[in-house]
Amino acid sequence: MNPSLANFILSKTPKSILHPAPTMNTAIPLNTGATIPALGLGTWQSAPGEVKKAVVHAIEAGYRHIDCAFCYQNEDEVGEALQDVISRGIVKREDLFITSKLWCTFHTRVEEGLQKSLDLLKTPYVDLYLMHWPVPMNPKGNHPLFPKLEDGSRDIDHSTTHVQTWKNLEKLIQTHPERVKAIGVANYSVKYLEKLLAQATIVPAANQIENHPLLPQQEVVDFCKAKGIHITAYSPLGSTGSPLFKDEAVNEVAKKHNVGPGTVLLSYHLARNSSVLAKSVTPARIDENRKLIVLDAEDMQKLESIHKNGITRFVYPPFGVNCGFPDKPDGIDLSG
């Protein structure tokens, strides 16, 4: 074809045909060769009695990615939901992407931690197993999940390190590839990632971090991109009560595209080539959150301007640990 004719046709072709618009199940590549669906249903703080219905509803509505964790204490019900939709033929296990996370009191017992989640979730394998925080806690303390010292502070296990935990996870995937398809981390700053990568033989497939226009964490996102580590964004709506729905700039972008603020907050991550987790136990919201759009450079510029007046981190548990994030300098350094 005449090159100028080809250019003419290209110039008249809508951008969405050249670059298909992302959907909730757009497959984003991981460094393992597998892919992760762009949108996942979050399950943190989804109460027992509600979470089964939420997961069943989500999967029936087309979600294929469910984010779970042992410490959410609801994996048993999530497992009931998975069993339900699989037994009714709504979906096959291999069409789902299930993430679970190793809790802090299990850093020295990774196989036990994984098996507990597999049993609760009633699944033979997880697609991604993450170290939930780079913070080992006492496995023999006064509580199985949140052990505390007499002064009320969290009981940190100083006899091991997050790097050793990673080595335990590397061994786990090598010895049990049928039970865990990929390993990754969560809540890792650049500082902790540098320490981990210096001794790792497997590069984490993903780093799940709090991420939204009020906490872009560009330094972590750029570092992970350079190392081939996929970013999954958590608390994209600002966590409990979705406070970011009220943000003025988010609402301006939403108005321009005639969509709700949630669509803008979730689509922001697709523009950054990250996957994103949205939690809801409300069927109408689970449906609404499926809508994603392509944001343009002007939209992204507006969203990127939000944090210029100060960032907000909504999730930071009282470990008393400095996890290496510049906005949280207090606490002990466990980077190793």
Ligand X SMILES: O=C[C@H](O)[C@@H](O)[C@@H](O)[C@H](O)C(=O)O
- The answer to whether residue 216 forms part of the interface with ligand NDP (CB under 6 A) is no
Three-state secondary-structure class, residue 257: helix
Three-state secondary-structure class, residue 206: strand
% helix, strand, coil for the chain, step of 5: 40, 15, 45
Q: Based on CB atoms, which residue is closest to ligand NDP, 116 or 291?
A: 291
Closest distance of CB 285 from ligand NDP, Å: 4
Residue 192 annotated in active site: no
Cα–Cα dist 67/47, whole Å: 15
Q: Decide: 43 and 12 in contact? Cβ < 8 Å.
A: no
By CB under 6 A, how many residues form the interface with ligand NDP? 29
Interface pick for ligand X out of 36, 59, 69, 182 (rule CB under 6 A)? 69
Cα–Cα dist 195/166, whole Å: 11
Is 132 annotated among the ligand-binding residues? yes
With CB cut-offs between 5 and 8 Å by kind, which of ligand NDP, ligand X, none does residue 62 bind?
Answer: none
Residues 30-59 that bind ligand X (CB under 6 A): 44
Interface pick for ligand NDP out of 74, 123, 168, 208 (rule CB under 6 A)? 208
Cα–Cα dist 85/95, whole Å: 12
- The answer to whether residue 141 forms part of the interface with ligand X (CB under 6 A) is no
- The answer to whether residue 236 forms part of the interface with ligand NDP (CB under 6 A) is yes
- Lay out the site mask for ligand NDP across 14-53 (x = CB under 6 A, - = otherwise): ----------------------------xxx---------
Exposed, middle or buried by CB within 10 Å (0-12, 13-18, 19+), for 39?
A: buried
- Lay out the site mask for ligand X across 287-316 (x = CB under 6 A, - = otherwise): ----------------------------x-
Contacts of 128 (CB under 8 A, 6+ apart): 36, 97, 98, 99, 100, 181, 182, 183, 184, 205, 206
Three-state secondary-structure class, residue 50: coil
Q: Based on CB atoms, which residue is closest to ligand X, 90 or 145?
A: 145
**Where are the alpha helices (H) located in 68-109, listed in sequence order?**
75-87
Q: Which is the catalytic residue, given 72, 188, 192, 268? A: 72
Closest distance of CB 210 from ligand X, Å: 9
* Neighbouring C-beta atoms of residue 229, cutoff 10 Å: 22
Cα–Cα dist 20/15, whole Å: 8
- The answer to whether residue 82 forms part of the interface with ligand X (CB under 6 A) is no
Residues 111-150 that bind ligand NDP (CB under 6 A): 132
The set of catalytic residues is 72
The footprint of ligand NDP (CB under 6 A) covers 42-44, 67, 132, 186-187, 208, 234-242, 245, 262, 277-282, 285, 288-289, 315
The footprint of ligand X (CB under 6 A) covers 44, 69, 71, 315, 317
